Amino acid sequence: MGNESAAPDHETGKLIAARGAAADNRQRYRLVLIVSMVLLGVFLTIIAIDAYRAEYTRQIQLQASRIASIGAQVEEIADIARARVVALRHTTALTYAATPAPDRASVPMPRSDIYTEILAQPHTPAEQSYKGTIFGHSLALAPPAADLEQAWRQDYRVFRSLWLTQAGLHAASKHVALSYIVSARTGASANFPALPSDALKAMIDPHRRKAKNPVETTFLRTLSPKQLPGRGLVWLPVYYDPISASTRIDAAVKGDGRVISLIAPVDVAGQYRAGVGVDIWAEEMARILRGQVVPRC
């Protein structure tokens, strides 16, 4: 009888032990599962961080590449402008040095009762390819000098002589909107290409143009020996000029009116004789200039 009662107790103990072992196993499995999930989470987090870092680095490199590309385009345009202005300055200085003032009969004289007038312009489409516009001002408004009329006659002859130089400059530079020469003695100017008729009307309109000393302009003062003793090239800030935007009737590249100007003084025999410059369309700089508030001309 004692042995018979001990057998169920033994079986019960074995069952309890088995159940305890099973519970321990389940607990271990839970711990293993929890640890595995934690390790998997950490692993996925590390992968996500690495992917984020890689994408961030890629975006930074892509942005840097875009900036470098834009910078290269801007620098290319700047190099073109510098080369053209230097060439125009040297040619203008040489032309002034080699050109005597012609006789009075061969040069139209500015009228004394008009501040600004057009003294030369193309009259046919064919002439637009090699002729620009010459503006003169009343000599009575310029600083008095014994050789002032002679200076104007020389200006006129030099301006006409430089049209082919300016035409070549524009033919080789699609981003150059306008080039110009301004006399430091008379304030007369030559622009190439020829300006459109509506711009010409605005420039000579006596109601819009107040008579003043034609050589006391911001342009000529900026290039004077007093303000520019180094006699180097000067970049002007971006500004809006609808006249430049409407020139270059032959050009495939058209600006929206935003231009950057590069100007330079012209000294002849040590004397400040003229200023030259070019307006550059900001077409290739659109992404840099987009949204920038610029003053109107």
Secondary structure class of 255 (helix, strand, coil): coil
One-letter identity of residue 156: Y
Whether residue 194 lies inside any domain: the answer is yes
CB atoms within 10 A of CB 253: 12
Instruction: Residue 132: give the domain boundaries.
Output: 65-289
Q: What angle do CA 21, 25, 30 make, to 5 degrees?
A: 150
- List the alpha helices (DSSP H) in the chain: 2-98, 148-161, 163-171, 197-204, 218-222, 242-245, 286-289
Phi, psi of 190 (to 5 degrees): -125, 125
- For residue 22, being part of any structural domain is answered with no
Does residue 294 lie within any of the structural domains?
A: no
Domain harbouring 220, CATH code: 3.30.450.20
Question: pLDDT (tens digit, 0 to 9) for every residue of the chain, 297 residues total?
Answer: 445 555 566 667 666 766 767 777 777 777 778 887 888 788 788 888 877 777 777 777 666 665 555 556 667 778 888 999 999 999 999 999 999 988 888 899 998 888 888 888 888 888 888 888 999 998 988 888 999 999 999 999 999 999 888 888 887 777 788 899 999 999 999 998 887 777 777 777 776 666 688 899 999 999 999 999 999 999 988 777 766 555 554 445 556 677 788 999 999 999 999 999 998 876 555 544 554 455 555
Under DSSP, is residue 9 helix (H, G, I), strand (E, B) or coil? helix
Torsion-angle region of 211 (φ positive above 0: left; ψ -120 to 50: alpha; else: beta) = beta
Residue 53 lies in a domain: no
Give me the pLDDT at residue 249, please: 46
Number of domains in the chain: 1
Q: Does residue 296 lie within any of the structural domains? A: no
206 token code pair: 């006596």
**Does residue 174 fall inside a structural domain?**
yes
**pTM score:** 0.71
Tokens of 287: 């992404």
Identify whether 19 is part of a domain.
no
In a domain, 7, yes or no: no
